[in-house]
Amino acid sequence: MYQDFESELNWAIRHMPRTRAAVDALPGLQGVRLACNMHLDLKMAPLVAGLLDKGAEIFLTTCNPTTVQDDVVAWLERRGAVAYAWRDMSDNDWSESFDRALAWGPTHLCEMGADLTSRLHQSINGPHIKAGLEATGSGISCLEGITPRYPIFNWDDLPVKEGLHNRHMVGLTAWHTFFQTTHLTLHEKCVLVIGYGLVGQGVASAAKAYGGQVIVAETDPARVLQARYDGWEAVDLATAVSRADVIATATGARNVLSSAHLERVKDGVFILNVGHVAEEIDVGFLRGLSHSEPMPFVNAYQLADKTLYLLANGSMFNLTAGYGDSLNAFDVTLAVMAAGIGHITGVGEQQPAGLYLLPSSVWLPAL
Ligand SMILES: NC(=O)c1ccc[n+]([C@@H]2O[C@H](COP(=O)([O-])OP(=O)(O)OC[C@H]3O[C@@H](n4cnc5c(N)ncnc54)[C@H](O)[C@@H]3O)[C@@H](O)[C@H]2O)c1
């Protein structure tokens, strides 16, 4: 008989052998105080539990309150982690979580989105961090505007992260979640993908697999060309927005789908975001309109005589309304992350302050 969360967790551990092996290969982590700002879902639990077993002390915050699974956080707290994170926590509480994590006195940071690093660099005070690890494109963009006070290792740009997770899993799981949430496939629908980075590329090709007729809007001329060579119609967002039945943002930038765009969409359009921040869409504008929730994770907004369906309030759709990556695919990601933690708590912390790509000698053995 199905037995609840512990059963799911054991299932995850069973299907993440690379992560287990990478954690087993770490030395003892006694003395390491690791603040982790990340998606707190089931798939993270095997790694965090493994690090605790290795002797690390851990403070958990979330990079996105809409993706927190409270039972996972509670389980990790019982295992010894300190946490200040819960699903849909307010912006004030979320902001406070970063202050609490820094006040806890971490020696190392492991982040998805660089919130702790940004907060730390806004003040001359704060804990002495020996080294950090950053996993996301949005976090790396943010770090490029900072002069780091310690070595930070980027593993978003590794081919094994971008090329697998970003390129293949986000699109697949986003449309799988679309299907589960709306009970619709994309057949006969015009799907507008905004942003043609690796995430957008995967979103476009998976949309086709789910039956969609894909068009792509992108601001970088090189990526516009790439989209055309991949066989998509590259369009101007301002004019094409009124053609789409489904719109997916995948840029990592803010206000990409502005109120002016939203005024021009079709009646019955579905809008979702898979980029790091919900503000890729002007959700503030939509919230000012009258709305209802016809299905879980589907909000229907009335704009004059049109209905717009915003999925998961604009937050990362595949993670908020769905499970995100498959366990086997995320196993690769987490194994690299575990190896990265070994690096930042070992020789990596001896590097001069700066932003580095995680060396291949660190992550290749984890594959
Ligand atoms: N949902 C998930 O599970 C998941 C997983 C990995 C990454 N992400 C997020 O997805 C986002 C995209 O990741 P990526 O690796 O493809 O990034 P990327 O930077 O390689 O690609 C983003 C693309 O968006 C384009 N862009 C920016 N502003 C635009 C605009 N106004 N209109 C059209 N195009 C615009 C850029 O030119 C770029 O080509 C990031 O925020 C990343 O953090 C989400």
Pocket of ligand 1 (CB under 6 A): 136-138, 162, 165-166, 170, 194-200, 217-220, 223, 237, 250-253, 256, 274-276, 316, 318-319, 324
- Residue of 143, 199, 235 to test ligand 1 pocket, by largest number of atoms within 8 Å of CB: 199
Q: Among 156-170, 229-243, 299-313, name the one with the lowest average pLDDT.
A: 156-170
pLDDT of residue 116: 97
* 360-364, Cβ contacts within 8 angstroms, sequence gap of 24 or more: 363/155, 363/158, 363/160, 363/336, 363/339
Q: What is the pTM of this model?
A: 0.85
Domain ranges of the chain: 5-160+325-366, 167-320
- Assess if CATH 1.10.274.10 describes domain 5-160+325-366: no
Instruction: Provide the token pair at 157.
Output: 């740009």
How large is the average pLDDT for residues 277-306?
95
Amino acid at 219: T
How large is the average pLDDT for residues 305-309?
97
What pLDDT digit, counting tens, does each position of 249-291 carry?
A: 999 999 999 999 999 999 999 999 999 888 999 999 999 999 9
Q: Mean pLDDT score of the chain, rounded to an integer?
A: 95
Q: Taking Cα atoms as reference points, which of 97, 60, 61 lies closest to residue 81?
A: 60
On the question of pLDDT at 163 being above 90, the answer is no
On the question of pLDDT at 366 being above 90, the answer is yes
Which architecture characterizes domain 167-320 according to CATH?
3-Layer(aba) Sandwich (3.40)
How large is the average pLDDT for residues 307-335?
94
Query: pLDDT confidence of 46, banded at 50, 70, 90?
Result: very high
pLDDT of residue 323: 86
Q: Which atom of ligand 1 is nearest to the CA of 113?
A: 43
What pLDDT digit, counting tens, does each position of 70-128 carry?
A: 999 999 999 999 999 999 999 999 999 999 999 999 999 999 999 999 999 998 888 99
Whether residue 337 contacts residue 155, with contact meaning beta carbons closer than 8 Å, is answered with yes
Whether residue 44 contacts residue 77, with contact meaning beta carbons closer than 8 Å, is answered with no
On the question of pLDDT at 34 being above 70, the answer is yes
Let me know if the fold of 5-160+325-366 is the same as that of 167-320: yes
On the question of pLDDT at 3 being above 80, the answer is no
Q: Which helix (H) or strand (E) element contains residue 308?
A: strand 306-311
Amino acid at 297: F
On the question of pLDDT at 292 being above 80, the answer is yes
Q: Percent of the chain at pLDDT above 70?
A: 99
Q: Which atom of ligand 1 is nearest to the CA of 280?
A: 31
What pLDDT digit, counting tens, does each position of 194-231 carry?
A: 999 999 999 999 999 999 999 999 999 999 999 999 99
Instruction: Provide the token pair at 82.
Output: 């300190």
Which residue minimizes the CA distance to atom 40 of ligand 1?
Answer: 252
On the question of pLDDT at 1 being above 60, the answer is no
On the question of pLDDT at 365 being above 60, the answer is yes
Ligand 1 centroid to Cα of residue 68, in Å, is 22
pLDDT of residue 6: 85
pLDDT of residue 2: 56
Ligand 1 centroid to Cα of residue 335, in Å, is 23
pLDDT of residue 165: 86
